[in-house]
Structures are given as C-alpha cells and as structure tokens.
C-alpha cells in the first residue's frame, strides 16, 4: 500500500505494523460491505485516499494537543475518521459513537482483529450520549465527518467536549456561509470558532476544510435536546 510518504504532510509517519493494520482494515471493510452497507466506496485505492488519508488529515488540526488525549468520533459509520487516527496514534483514548447496531458490530470486530486498546464502541445517538454523565463534557476532542449541516452538528458535538477542548468538523467546499449560519448555535452551546482550515489530501481532488471550534463555556443543561429535535429544529 503506497501510504507512508503520503502521510508525512500531515505530520505522521507509519511503521510496518501500522501499514499492515490499515491493510487488514481495508480487507475487512470490503468483505463486510458485501452484506452490510458500510461505504459506497469499493475501489481499494479509493478507500486509501477517500477514507484513510482523508481521516488522517484531521491530525493537522490536533497536532498541538498534548497526548495522550481523549477523542470521540460522532457518527463514526465504518470508523472514519476515528479508527485511522487510532491506528496512527495508538496512545489516544477513542470512543466511536454510532447509532446503527450493524455498524457498531463491524466496528467492534475491527477493533478486535486489529488488537486496539482504549477503544469504546458506543451504540447510541449523539443526543443521548451528550446527556449521559459518562460522555457529557468528558472529551478533549470531538470529530465528525459529513454527518449533518453545521448548526445541527455543533449540537451533536459540543456537549461532549470539556471546557478548553476542541471540536473538529470535516467539511467540503468553503464552509464560511455554513459557519455564519451556525454562529448562534455555537455561542449558545459554549463554543467559539477558532479557524476554518483548508486541507489538501493526497490523491483527492475534492475541496476539504476543517471547522475548528474551541469549547469556552459549559453547555447549558438543555442541550443536546431529545433525539431528532436538533435536525428538525436547528438552533
């Protein structure tokens, strides 16, 4: 797998064991995808660029955070971006949050076959996790990838992050207008936008940006609201 040099622009280098873990992950994803709808990307090369490298690019936004840190991947799906980050950064404490049981069954299987430690796979909605004492305001970093529009996504993620922690949201084309639309929600939930960071992912032509939000104040107890309400009535 042509991989090692392509992660260096992100500030990461992978050893042979990590490269083998990614290969095992890719093979398992393709096998399971034949019976469980995990990804629409089935070309092995595209899995590397559109899933693995796109996930690892997130490290650019968190490279200055002291390790080991705790990270929650909200709406993890088939494990992106959380599992690639865990393979590359074995010392982080990872929670994969996904509401679909078939997908969390897959995630548990991948965690087991790769021998990953300090990983929790949680079958729940973000609104439920954000009100649970084990997860509310417990994490140094929350990440999410293509889960929802920004005003909705911040209600899913900001309640999970400690004061001083960060939310890193992967977006496509320049999200300035979306950030503006989410400004009220971000403020209500205790966050402040720190940066909109353009990102280049090797072998990926699509435009990529990170929206980086710092948690400045506690999230009011009302939020997140009950499951489904953030999507139906965004702040």
Q: Please report the pLDDT score of residue 4 as a whole number.
A: 65
Residue-by-residue DSSP string for 29-75: HHHHHTTS---S---HHHIIIIIIIHHHGGGGGTTTSPSS-EEEEET
Q: Which CATH class is domain 4-219?
A: alpha beta
Token pair, residue 215, equals: 């948690």
* 3 state DSSP class of 201: coil
Q: Against a cut of 0.85, is the pTM above it?
A: yes
Burial 185-206 (b: 16+ CB within 10 A, else e): bbebbbbebeebeebebbebee
How many of the other CB atoms lie within 10 Å of CB of 43?
A: 10
CA–CA distance from 229 to each of 17, 35, 100, 132 (Å)? 43, 31, 18, 17
* CB distance 211 to 175 below 8 Å: yes
Question: What is the helix (H) or strand (E) element at residue 125, kind and residue range?
Answer: none
Strand partners, 144: 74, 169
| In the chain, domain spans | 4-219
Instruction: pLDDT tens for the chain, 235 residues: list them.
Output: 667 678 988 989 999 999 999 999 999 999 999 999 999 998 988 999 999 999 999 999 998 999 999 999 999 999 999 999 999 999 999 999 999 999 999 999 999 999 999 999 999 999 999 999 999 999 999 999 877 899 999 999 999 999 999 999 999 888 999 999 999 999 999 999 999 999 999 888 888 999 999 999 999 999 999 999 999 999 9
How far from the centroid of its chain's Cα atoms is residue 164's Cα? Answer: 18
What kind and span of H or E run contains 183?
A: helix 183-188
The answer to whether the beta carbons of residues 98 and 104 sit under 8 Å apart is yes
């Amino acid at each position: 797998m042509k991989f090692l040099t392509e992660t260096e622009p992100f500030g990461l280098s992978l050893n042979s064991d990590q490269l083998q873990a990614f290969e095992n992950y890719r093979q398992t994803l393709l096998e399971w995808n034949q019976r469980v709808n995990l990804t629409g990307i089935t070309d092995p090369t595209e899995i590397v660029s559109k899933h693995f490298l796109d996930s690892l690019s997130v490290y650019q936004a968190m490279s200055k955070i002291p390790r080991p840190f705790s990270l929650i991947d909200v709406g993890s799906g088939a494990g992106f971006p959380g599992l690639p980050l865990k393979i590359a950064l074995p010392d982080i404490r990872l929670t994969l949050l996904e509401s679909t049981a078939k997908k969390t069954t897959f995630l548990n299987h991948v965690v087991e076959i790769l021998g990953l430690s300090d990983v929790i796979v949680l079958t729940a909605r973000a609104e439920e996790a954000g009100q649970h004492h084990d997860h509310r305001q417990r994490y140094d970093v929350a990440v999410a990838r293509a889960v929802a529009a920004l005003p909705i996504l911040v209600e899913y993620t900001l309640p999970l992050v400690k004061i001083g922690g960060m939310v890193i949201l992967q977006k496509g084309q320049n999200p300035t207008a979306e950030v503006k639309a989410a400004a009220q929600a971000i403020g209500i939930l205790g966050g402040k936008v720190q940066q909109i960071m353009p990102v280049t992912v090797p072998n990926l032509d699509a435009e990529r940006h990170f929206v980086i939000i710092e948690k400045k104040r506690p999230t009011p107890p009302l939020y997140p609201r009950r499951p489904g309400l953030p999507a139906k009535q965004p702040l």
